[in-house]
Structures are given as structure tokens and as C-alpha cells.
Structure 1
């Protein structure tokens, strides 16, 4: 493949982001490897975190917003006995405390307090903005500002392994959850403090059953052929299984692509997937008051 000619490529790549690489760097590496004309990711991972980073190529960026709202699963290791200025292994370790001899039952009594709907105060080392400034930039200047608490949901929280000074946890959570804050709060409830020493995103809903690919694996496929590389991409509608789907004929598709409303006898739905008679994913429409209203239609075929 030419290194300078980009393609109108469409599809979703489940990239297994490596440690020490920013999400944007991982995105650009994948984009250049696939030579995709357009690319974006759905929810960044810190450089010190690894795991699933869905990358949307071309028309897939039109469905990327749905992935930002998805539930996510993480495996994290909490190191006990210290807190960190950043909440993770990158920061300065402060306030050493003895680790209590906690039984499994006592640990469970703490963890149960963090399951279900809870409230979190976002960390200063985050990309949230205050008066246009990212909080992490203020934190690096030694500043701390008030942050509003957020309501999140911890769907599950289980212990995978524990040692004298670590807890490895499996967490399934809603959007907006900060694992660093969760670990810090658990550490405080245990009375010894804690910080994240390892973080891996295992899945982003609805991609839990699909395979991730490391950049090195993708480079090997690219050496084989363009077809071998493109074969790892998922169709756009893979991101939308929760939406109802209908099939329409070519005449309806033409009118929808012209921005026209079309009469329908389908049930009302805020958004629904539209397919052609041949099974091609056309895009998203709203069904209301007996008409289909185009919302996000693809400019060309889904793959």
C-alpha cells in the first residue's frame, strides 16, 4: 500500500492499545496503517492504561457517539498503603499508612458500598475543563478547583486477586466513571489509601464478544495483504444492536437520502436502523407520527 494515498475506508477497529501510548497516538498509528482518510476514537485511555480502544474509520464516525455512552469493563490493580498525587502509578506516592488485616467478609462489606448507583467527584488529573482549561493542566500547576459530583453506576465490582498490599478488581461501570477515583475511595474506606498501579479496559459495550488487535498484529496482516488487514474491521451497525431495525426499498432510500420524510406504518422509535432489501446498512432514522425522518445516513456503503 502507498504510504501517502488515503482510502475512503469504513468500519470499526477494536484496537488493543499498548501501555505508554496516548489514545491519539494509537489512533494515528492505526489510521496510517490502514491509510484511512478519516478516523476517530470513542473514549480515550490514559497512557498508563491498556486495552480496548474502538477506532471508527470513515462513516463509522457517525455512530461513534453511541459508544461514548456505553458501559465498560476494566481490570485494575489497587496498591494499598499510599495515595498518589495523580491517583495512579505516575504520581508521587504520599501519606504512607499501615494496611489493616482485613478479612474477605470485611472487604466485601466495603465493596458492596460501591456497587449500584454512586456519586463520584472527578479527579483533578482529568480532561474535564474549568473555564476552558483542562483540569490536569491546573493540577500540574499545583492548583485544585471545586468539581461537581457525578452520578455513575457500578454494575459489578468483584475481587480477582488480593495480596498483602494489592487488590485486583474486575469493574463493569457506566460512562463517566473514573477508576482512579473508585480505587482512591475504596482505599479510604479501608483506612489505608490506595492508587491505581495497573488498569486495562477489557471491553466496551457492545463489543465484549469481539477480538481486539494489537498494532503489531495489524502490521503483520498489512504485510500479507490489504484484504487481510481490512478483514478485522467490524461493520458499522455492530455498534447499534440495541436499536430496532427495518428494511425499506430503494425508492424510500432515495427519498431519505434527499432529506425527505417518508410515510411509514412502523412503530414510533427515537432512532432505528435502516437496511436495504439487500441487507446493506443505510443509516439511522426516527419514526414518529407515521413518518420516517432521516437522522444519520451513510454517504456510501457500510464496508
Structure 2
């Protein structure tokens, strides 16, 4: 059940479920809540600026629980755009290599989806926050330096097509922590032979915690009765 903001014990320690808006970084959300509450705050896993949805914050003594929260399963909804690719696997870079998708059938797509259900090997995107040489690999990639990513094992518990309106594929996914949905979108497009990228992503659950229980930033702004100064990141398109 969603509690009222005034029922939370920010300074002593509590857990906040936040509905991160599109365009905000997870660090921007943390910085804004620190300014409002004057409390010690940490987050249990980031969410890309181009994604919206559930982020878990812990304050005070509850920050000790962040490690156990990091490993919880995740649920996402979103849209894969078929027939084009992007270097970042999402809309932070320009779509390219346009291909026809009208020949794709629902059966063909379902057969490919089966390949990406269960335990799979995934290669994270080079435009990600994984660190090499002490720096996030996206910084190295943007500097034109060679980046070698290591594959990882992840688990896709459920991969459901909720709507098919080519070239868009709407989905709902339950997966293990550490899964890159951007990589999954790219891999599904490649397996279909037409390419694909992540057009939209929303995180709807972390473990048993659901987005319906989360506070919006506007709700918290009204509670604290102050201005909203967190920087909203407008993504710069990469070539």
C-alpha cells in the first residue's frame, strides 16, 4: 500500500519508491531528494535517462539494505522498433540501415522471442555505465577508443508480446538484475534479420515493489513545498 509522503521517516531511515520521469538521471533524482529531505540517500540501481519508471531509494539506516535490493528481479514494458538499428541500441543515437519489415509474421517473431527466454548470453552495449580502466565504457566509446565488452549470463523469465504493430513490437519482460533491455532489442532485431533498437522503456517492478506504489516527483515536490531544481538531461544524439 502506498503511504503518504509525510508518513516516511527520511532522516532515521526509510525506503522510497520513485517513478523516475523520462529525461532524468537516477543521480538527479537522488540529488533532488537529498536537497528536499536533508537526509542521507542512496539508490538500488540506476535507470537510463531515456527510460522512465521505478527506482528504489533508501534513506538513513536503510541505505545498508541497498546491496540486497540490487539483486532483485525486474519487470519492464516498452517498444522495440524493428527495421533500423542505432549505435547505442536506443534513441540516444540516430537510426540507420533501414530495412523492410512487412514480411515479418507474428509466428516468426514468436519463434525468435523463444530464443531469448530463459538463461541467455548477452553482450552489454558499449554505451553503458560498466567500467573499464576506471571509467564508464560510454566515455571511452565517445572518445573513439576501442572497447571490448565481456558477455554475461542473464535470465529472461517472461518475454511477452503485448502488441504487434510493425515496425513496432510492444513487450513486457521479467528478467534478472543486470539485464540490458537495449541489448535485447538489438539482438531480437538481428535474429529477425531486420535490425532493431529500443524505442521506449518503462520499469514497472523491482522484486515485489510495483510502480503503482511509487511517488512522482511532483507529489514529493508538493509535499516538501519547494522548487524542483534537479537537472533534466536532454540526450545528445550520437552519430
Do Structure 1 and Structure 2 share a fold, with TM-score over 0.5? yes
- Structure exhibiting the larger radius of gyration computed from Cα positions: 1
List aligned pairs for 1:66-105, cutoff 5 A: 66-105=68-107
User: How do residues 140-289 of structure 1 correspond to structure 2 at under 5 angstroms?
Assistant: 140-208=142-210, 211-223=213-225
- Structure 2: gaps spanning 5 or more residues: 1-9, 226-239
1:31-110, aligned counterparts within 5 Å?
Answer: 31-36=34-39, 38-110=40-112
| Contact 1:100 1:191 (8 Å CA) reproduced | no
Q: Indicate whether 1:28 and 2:31 are aligned.
A: yes
In the TM superposition, residue 209 of structure 1 has moved relative to its aligned partner by: 7.8
The answer on whether the counterparts of 1:100 and 1:192 sit within 8 Å (CA) in structure 2 is no
Q: TM-score normalised to the size of structure 2? A: 0.86
Could you tell me whether the CA contact under 8 Å between 2:102 and 2:166 is conserved in 1? no
Q: Give the number of aligned pairs.
A: 216
**Per chain length, whose mean CA-contact separation is higher, i.e. which structure has more relative contact order (CA < 8 Å, sep 6+)?**
2
SS in 1 for 2:215: coil
Structure 1 residues not aligned, in runs of 5+ = 1-6, 224-303
* Pairing 1:13–2:41 present: no
Cα RMSD of the aligned pairs, angstroms, is: 1.4
Residue pair 2:17, 2:56 contacting (<8 A) in 1 also: yes
Pair 1:209–1:27, CA change in 2 (3 A):
closer
Tell me the equivalent position of 1:275: none
Matches within 5 A, 1:96-135: 96-135=98-137
